[in-house]
């Protein structure tokens, strides 16, 4: 699907037909959004821009030269947008191409930041004189959404910490949940660092309008604070993980201690039973109530051992 945002009579008009590009000039087109485009739509846009749009495979590469490059006519940028899921987060690649005043975006998934910006672009066209302003607004909204996700993760970490303090369901599954949250935190941090690299490269370009340098500086500061926040969250998760492992080890040690004490308490009685189970003559074996005496002696040894352990505060 293609969405073309262009200026007409002082307003922003929208077209979803690639054939309409033939009647437009590049200076009037602010933004071309390609959402899972067909081959014809992509080729038409490439002809309009007189440059090639990067493929999804190029957008997913991690090399610096693939994440940002520029020519005399165009700027090519690739970054990942975080998609929260029920259990884990995924990253979707988005490609940006800026030729003159026109921004072209290529994506394969619906993104809330794009939908919201498209509404704002039509409602307040004066705020977006060209594609550079649309581009920085997309990054700004994306950083805000990343900040919201980090805040939600911080609340999850606080809930896990509260459950640990209340000793609620501290088991292996709880530890796996913390490990999953650690993985999500690493994905979020990787996503934010990717945007930091992109903005750093953009600020070095002489094609960026001077009036946008301040906004890029604010974005860099916001991203740096988000990176610090994710680092702190990861440290909290490591602390929680160590605490859970310690609690699980303590619980297992308690169980082993009970088994050990029971074995030691029954050891004298087992020894007496072993003696009287041998096929040899032993005292009081001909006595009628000998079995009661033997059981009594066995219980007495268990009681003495229990008293000794209690006195030594081992129980």
Look at residue 74 in the predicted model and tell me its pLDDT: 84
How many domains does the chain contain in total?
A: 2
Point out the residues of the chain with pLDDT beneath 50: 64
Give the C-alpha separation, 92 to 82, whole Å. 6
> CATH number, domain at 23?
3.30.460.20
Look at residue 269 in the predicted model and tell me its pLDDT: 75
Q: Strand pairing partners for 105?
A: 33, 96
> CATH number, domain at 274?
1.20.58
Do 33 and 166 reside in the same domain of the chain?
yes
> Are 242 and 162 contacting, i.e. CB atoms less than 8 angstroms apart?
no
Do 191 and 276 reside in the same domain of the chain?
no
Q: Which contacts (CB < 8 Å, 24+ apart) does range 196-205 have?
A: 196/220, 196/223, 196/224, 196/227, 197/64, 197/67, 197/68, 198/67, 198/68, 198/77, 198/78, 198/79, 198/139, 199/139, 199/223, 201/64, 201/67, 201/68, 201/77, 202/68, 202/75, 202/77, 205/70, 205/75
Look at residue 286 in the predicted model and tell me its pLDDT: 64
Within the chain, what is the greatest distance between any pair of CA atoms?
A: 120
The DSSP secondary structure of 263-288, one letter per residue, reads HHHHHHHHHHHHHHTSSS--TTTTST
Do 206 and 233 reside in the same domain of the chain?
yes
> Are 52 and 69 contacting, i.e. CB atoms less than 8 angstroms apart?
no
Which residue bears the tokens 């000793």?
A: 167
> Are 220 and 228 contacting, i.e. CB atoms less than 8 angstroms apart?
no
Do 115 and 175 reside in the same domain of the chain?
yes
Do 183 and 111 reside in the same domain of the chain?
yes
Look at residue 308 in the predicted model and tell me its pLDDT: 76
Query: Domain of 175?
Result: 2-248
Look at residue 57 in the predicted model and tell me its pLDDT: 62
Which of 199, 225, 248 is the endpoint of a domain?
248
Do 274 and 196 reside in the same domain of the chain?
no
Which of 216, 248, 280 is the endpoint of a domain?
248
Which of 200, 232, 248 is the endpoint of a domain?
248
Look at residue 281 in the predicted model and tell me its pLDDT: 64
Those residues whose C-beta lies under 8 Å from the C-beta of residue 27, and which sit 6 or more positions away, are 100, 101
Those residues whose C-beta lies under 8 Å from the C-beta of residue 142, and which sit 6 or more positions away, are 81, 113, 195
Do 89 and 230 reside in the same domain of the chain?
yes
Do 102 and 143 reside in the same domain of the chain?
yes
Do 64 and 158 reside in the same domain of the chain?
yes
Which residue bears the tokens 């490990």?
A: 179
pTM score above 0.75:
no
Do 182 and 299 reside in the same domain of the chain?
no
Do 213 and 304 reside in the same domain of the chain?
no
Do 189 and 288 reside in the same domain of the chain?
no
Look at residue 279 in the predicted model and tell me its pLDDT: 65
């Amino acid at each position: 699907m293609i969405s073309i945002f262009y200026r007409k009579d002082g307003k922003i008009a929208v077209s979803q037909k690639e054939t309409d590009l033939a009647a437009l000039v590049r200076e009037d087109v602010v933004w071309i959004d390609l959402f899972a485009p067909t081959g014809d739509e992509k080729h038409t846009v490439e002809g309009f821009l007189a440059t090639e749009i990067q493929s999804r495979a190029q957008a997913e590469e991690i090399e610096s030269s693939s994440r940002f490059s520029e020519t005399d006519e165009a700027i090519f940028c690739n970054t990942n947008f975080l998609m929260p899921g029920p259990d884990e987060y995924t990253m979707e690649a988005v490609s940006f191409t800026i030729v003159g005043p026109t921004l072209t975006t290529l994506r394969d998934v619906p993104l809330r930041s794009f939908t919201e910006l498209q509404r704002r672009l039509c409602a307040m066209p004066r705020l977006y004189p060209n594609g550079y302003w649309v581009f920085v607004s997309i990054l700004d909204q994306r950083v805000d959404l990343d900040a919201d996700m980090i805040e939600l993760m911080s609340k999850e970490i606080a809930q896990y910490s509260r459950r640990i303090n209340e000793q609620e369901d501290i088991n292996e599954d709880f530890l796996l949940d913390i490990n999953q949250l650690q993985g999500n935190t690493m994905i979020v941090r990787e996503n934010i660092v990717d945007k930091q690299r992109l903005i750093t490269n953009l600020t070095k370009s002489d094609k960026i309008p001077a009036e946008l340098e301040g906004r890029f500086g604010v974005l860099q500061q916001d991203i740096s604070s988000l990176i610090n926040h994710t680092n702190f969250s990861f440290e909290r998760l490591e602390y929680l993980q160590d605490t859970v492992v310690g609690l699980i080890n303590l619980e297992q040690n308690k169980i082993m201690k009970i088994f050990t004490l029971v074995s030691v308490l029954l050891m004298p009685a087992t020894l007496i039973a072993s003696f009287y189970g041998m096929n040899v003559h032993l005292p009081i074996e001909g006595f009628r109530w000998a079995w009661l005496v033997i059981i009594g002696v066995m219980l007495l040894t268990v009681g003495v051992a229990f008293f000794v352990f209690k006195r030594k505060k081992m129980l």
